[in-house]
Structure formats: structure tokens, C-alpha cells
Amino acid sequence: MAKPDVLITLPPLSAVTLDDQAGRLWIVTILAFIYVLLSAITRAVIKRGSIGLDDVLLFVGTLAFVGQAVATIHGLRHGLSKYNSITTESEWTKSGQAFIATEVLAILTQCLSKCSVIFLIHRVFSSQLGWKRWLHTGILVLSVGWGVAGMVLMATSCSADVILTSKTATLCSKQILRWRIVVVLDVVSEGLMCLLPVILIYPLQMPFRRKAQVVAAFSFRLPIIAVSITHYFSIQNSWSSVEPLYAITNPLIIQQAMLCWSLISATIPNLKAFMQSFSTEWGLGMSLGTSTGQSSDHPLQTFNLTIGSARTKGINNGLLSMYSDDAGLSTGLRPDPHLHSATVVHTGDNVNAAEDRASIASHGSQEWIIRKSVSWQVNSDSRKKGPA
């Protein structure tokens, strides 16, 4: 007679009951950590050999996210997301310490993510002059100031032994006002940061499709505005609860999702589908080649430039030579084959020429730079082919 199967059951990591919602926060925190880790690995693979300040900032931001996730887990192990009535006062203090650390590190993560995107925009739209440069700098200063002010406000707002107790509404009455200031500045900085690429790319000589792709690459941060506002109202609703240790669960869940998307959206513009849009086509039908050199400044190998019926072949110090098809270039009204030669000269001093070459292919052709100033001189010479 066959023996019945024995079902082995293991205790859950954290049960989800009416007075204990820690399991939900455990799941969201672990998933957010996995997604952020995969995003960081993806960015490291894409940007290998061309690491910039934006990558360093996002790496530090990822470490800050890991720190706030660890702080959240520490709070979960000491009564966070449970009723105050089934936990002890010592657990209230430990959970309060974990909550304050989580909020401070969350603002640091968000601040570094903003700065990473701003520096990426600077790398793509290099050498912008006049008020555009001041706009770029102003948004950067606003983001850094928001991060510093937000961390100070959260760290000094309320003591850890009170912040998640029934005394919060009376002893930390100004906490909601501080959160309102943080969220308003967060929304303003995010909105300006999404608007910056539109302002910078609008006057450039690029096809509309390319412009739309570049703007779309940096528009993935727009949902953060809605999530940040939702997070604020969730905190506001939980602040007057008689069970604040339990009521803070939803705000922390929303916060984990917001930070996760903030770091992922900072990596999306580096994906290949969007990097191909960061090229200097200027409507001339160029397609960039690849380079196999070992230096950090790679010259163009081969690209096609269609002007009329002739095509370019090769590049040498800003001088492009044109060539005709083997059968020669001919028109429908004249049967005699013709020779057609043209020379394209890129004018400008050595410094500008070096910058333009770096803007088209630099750092292993993995980083595309958008520039506005390009000048070409085309000289064409057609002559009738003589008898053999």
C-alpha cells in the first residue's frame, strides 16, 4: 500500500493578518531591491569603458537605496507594520529609528538619481551657452538643495521614540508641513528636469522623430511626480492614526516603488534604443560606423552621406571624398555617362574639429553627444567622360 505524501510546511517569513501587514512590506522591499540590482547591472554592462559622473552618482544612489532597504528590514524585524498594541515600547523606538533612517536615505537616493540624470543631459547636450547653461545649473542646484534640506528636515523632525506612537500628532505636529515642503520641491525639480531636454533639443537641426525619441528617453521620470504626491497623501492619512506603527505600511510600500522607478528611469536613457537617437544626423542622412581603436578618441571609420546621387566614402581630418557608382552617374535625358566628383570640407579651427569628432564618436562609440554647430562646404565638379 502506497504511503501518503507528507506535506512539509515551513513557517512564513512574515504572516499577513489584520494586525500585522509586515509581509506586504517585505515582498515589495525585496522585489524593489531585485529590480534595482538588475538595473544597476544593466547600466554597468552598457556603460563599461565610458563611465562618467552620472554613472558614479547613480551607483552611490543605488548604495543609498540598499541602505534604506536594510533599514526597512531592520524595522520589520522590530515591530514595523504591526499594531502598537501588540508590540513593546522598545520596539517602537527601534522601528522609529529605522523609519527615520529610511526616510533620510530615501531622499538621498532620490537626490542622487536626479543629479545623475541632470549630468547625463549635460553629457548629451554638451556646450550649451547662455541662459540654457544657467537653466541646467539652476536645476542642479535646486535638486542638491532639495536633497540636503529634505534630509535635514527628516532627521530633525521628531525623536525616534515618539515618531511612530500615538503621541505623534501632538509632539510632531509640524511633520506634515515638512513633508509638504519636501514633496512640492521634489515635484518642481522633477518637472523642470523633464522639461530641460525639450528646451535644449527644440532649436537643433534634427528630424522630429529623433527629437521625440530623445525627449521620450528622459520622460520616464514623469510618473515619479504622481507617485510622490500619492506618497505625501498616504503619509498625511497615516499620521493621525491610533496605530501609526501599522498605518505607516502603505507610505513605505509606495516609497519603495517610487525609489525603484527613480533609479530605473535614470538608466533607461542609456539603453541602446535611445542611445541611437543621440547622434548628429542634422537631417543629412548620416549613418555612423564603428571603430576598433584602443584610444578614447575614435575617428569615424565609414559613414554614408547622401547628397543628390553621390555618396561619401571615408573621412580624413574633416575631409570627405565622394565617389560614383561603377556604372557612372547618368540622367534620364542624357545617355552619355558622366564623371562626378565632389569634395566636402568641414570648416573650423582644430579645437572645434576635435570637439565635433568627439561628439560623433567618443568613448568607444558608446556615448552619443548632441551638438548644434556644424558647418560643411560642398564643392562639386562634373565633366563629360572622354573617349577611351
Least confident interval from 50-59, 86-95, 208-217: 208-217
Q: What are residue 344's phi and psi, to 5 degrees?
A: -115, 120
- For residue 234, the model assigns a pLDDT of 94
What is the average pLDDT score of the chain? 75
- For residue 175, the model assigns a pLDDT of 87
CA distance 223 to 230: 11
For range 44-68, the mean pLDDT = 92
- For residue 226, the model assigns a pLDDT of 95
What's the first-to-final CA gap in the chain, in angstroms?
A: 100
- For residue 207, the model assigns a pLDDT of 83
Residues 95 and 164: beta-carbon distance below 8 Å: yes
Bigger pLDDT: 57 vs 242: 57
- For residue 2, the model assigns a pLDDT of 55
CA distance 327 to 339: 10
What confidence tens digit (pLDDT) does each residue in 283-300 have? 333 333 333 333 333 333
Least confident interval from 7-11, 171-175, 313-317: 313-317
- For residue 150, the model assigns a pLDDT of 94
What confidence tens digit (pLDDT) does each residue in 318-350 have? 444 444 444 443 333 334 444 445 555 555 445
Q: Taking 70 as the threshold, does the pLDDT of residue 372 lie above it? A: no
Domains of the chain by start residue, with CATH: 22-275 (1.20.1070), 280-388 (no CATH)
For range 29-52, the mean pLDDT = 91
Least confident interval from 175-184, 260-269, 313-322, 375-384: 313-322
Name the most confidently modeled range: 186-190, 193-197, 366-370: 186-190
- For residue 334, the model assigns a pLDDT of 37
Radius of gyration of the chain (CA): 29
- For residue 364, the model assigns a pLDDT of 42
334 grid coordinates:
542624357
278 grid coordinates:
543621440
For range 351-377, the mean pLDDT = 47
